[in-house]
Structure 1
Amino acid sequence: MDASLQSYATLLRRFSDIPDSEWQWFAARLHARTLRKYDYFIRSGEQARFIAFCAEGLFRFYYDTENGNELNKSFCGKGDFVASFHSLLLDSPSRLHIQALEDSELWVISYADYIGLYDRHVCWERLGRRMAERLFIKKEQRERELLLCSAEERYRLFVNENPELHERIPLYHIASYLGITPVALSRIRRRINLG
C-alpha cells in the first residue's frame, strides 16, 4: 500500500475500528489528486462533490468580501480533511475557496461514495460522528479565540498550536486569519521578538 494511503488508514483507524474488508472497499474508491501551489480544490460558487485527505501539502480556506478582500477561515495540512462541508451537506454552491498554498497531494473520494459508507458498516458511522465532533471542537475554539482573546493572544495561540505551519504560511495570510492587518501583526511580532 502507498505510504500516504497507509497513513490515511492509520489516521482513520484512530477514530474508528475499520475492518480490513471495509478499508479495502473504501480504498478502491479513492483516487490520488495532485494540486500545484495556488491551484484550487474548490472555488466559491462551485458545487462540492468530493471529500479529500491531505497526504502532503498545505491549504487555506477563505471567503471573498464584497469589496474584493480575502478573509482566511482556516488552514489545513498533512493529515487533515479538505472539503466544503456546507456545500456538501446542503447540496448548494460552496461559499468558500479552498486553495493550495504549496504543491499538495490528496486522496479523494466522491461524497456519494462517502455517504454510502454509512449504510455499509457501523465503523463508518462512528468515524463520521467522531470527525464531526473534531470539527465542532475546532470551530468552537476558533469562535472563543475571536470573541475573548486579544490579537496578540490569538497570534501566540496560533504559533503554539501550529508550530510547523507557522513558518510555511505567509504572514499576510496569518494576519487575515487572526482578523488583523499585516501591519498590526508585524507590531505584535516585534513586541514578542519573532521578527
Structure 2
Amino acid sequence: MNRNFTFLNSISDISEETFSEIKKITAFKRIEAGAQIVKLGDVPSKAYMIVSGIIRCYLITESGKEFNKSFYLPVSFAASLTALMKRKPSSFVFEALTDCKIYEIDYYKLMRLCETNDNLKSLYTKTLEFLYVKYEKRLVESMSLNATGRYLELQKQIPNVDELISQYHIASYLGITSVQLSRIRKKLDR
C-alpha cells in the first residue's frame, strides 16, 4: 500500500478515490538546501507535505533580524496558512534547511474538492486541528518556560535536533543568542 495513503489515513479515513483526487492536484518536488518555497511577500497558492528533509519557517524584522517560528520534519504539512486563506502576501519565509522531497498541493483546488468531498473535508479539518494544537503548545511553552525549558521541549519534539539543525537556527527558534544556547548545553551536559 502507498505510504502517503497510509499517512493520510492515519489522520482521517479517506478512500482510494479521494487519494486519487488529491494526487491530481499534487506535484512531487525535490528542493535543494537554501531554496525558499515561500518568499516574504509572496501570495502563495500551495501547501506542502514534507517527505524528507527539514524546512524552517521564519520572519524577518524591519532591521533584518530573522526569527524562526517553526521547523517542519517528515512527515508533516507546511503552509503560509493565513496568507493562503486570505489570499494576502506571506509574512513568513519557508526555506529548506536541507535537501528536501516534498509534495506541492494546489491549495485552492484542494478547497474546491473539500466542498464536494466529505472525506477530504474531514482530513483538512483534522490537519488544521493538529496544527492548532501544535501552535497552542508552542505558545504556552514560549510564555511559561525559560530558555532551558524551551530547549528541553524542543529536544523532546526533535530528539536529534542538535545534529539536524544548526545552533544558530535553534537559538533563533528559542528566542535566544547562540552564546546563550552554548551555555545552556554546557550546563545540561554537567
TM-score by length of 1: 0.93
1:162-182 deviations in Å (ceiling 9; x for gaps): 113442100110000001111
1:147-194 deviations in Å (ceiling 9; x for gaps): 100110110111112113442100110000001111110000000018
* Residue 129 (1) aligns with residue 125 (2): yes
1:55 CA drift (Å): 1.0
Q: Bigger shift: 27-36 or 68-77?
A: 27-36
Name the Cα RMSD after superposition. Answer: 1.3
State which of 162, 170, 173 in structure 2 corresponds to 1:174. Answer: 170
Contact 1:8 / 1:79 at 8 angstroms: preserved in 2?
no
**Residue aligning to 1:158:** 154
**What is the aligned residue count?**
190
Contact 1:48 / 1:84 at 8 angstroms: preserved in 2?
yes
Contact 2:25 / 2:110 at 8 angstroms: preserved in 1?
no
* Residue 89 (1) aligns with residue 55 (2): no
CA distance in 2, matches of 1:155, 1:107: 30
**Residue aligning to 1:71:** 67
* Residue 29 (1) aligns with residue 25 (2): yes
**Residue aligning to 1:190:** 186
Unaligned residue ranges in structure 2 (runs of 5+): none
Unaligned residue ranges in structure 1 (runs of 5+): none
Moved over 4 A (4+): none
**Residue aligning to 1:8:** 4
Matched residue SS, 2:168: helix
**Percent of aligned pairs sharing the same letter:** 31
Residue identity opposite 1:108 in structure 2: E
1:7 CA drift (Å): 2.5
Contact 1:37 / 1:100 at 8 angstroms: preserved in 2?
yes
Residue identity opposite 2:67 in structure 1: L
Contact 1:8 / 1:53 at 8 angstroms: preserved in 2?
no
CA distance in 2, matches of 1:27, 1:166: 35
1:8-57 deviations in Å (ceiling 9; x for gaps): 22111112111111111221221111110000111110111101111111
CA distance in 2, matches of 1:158, 1:18: 32
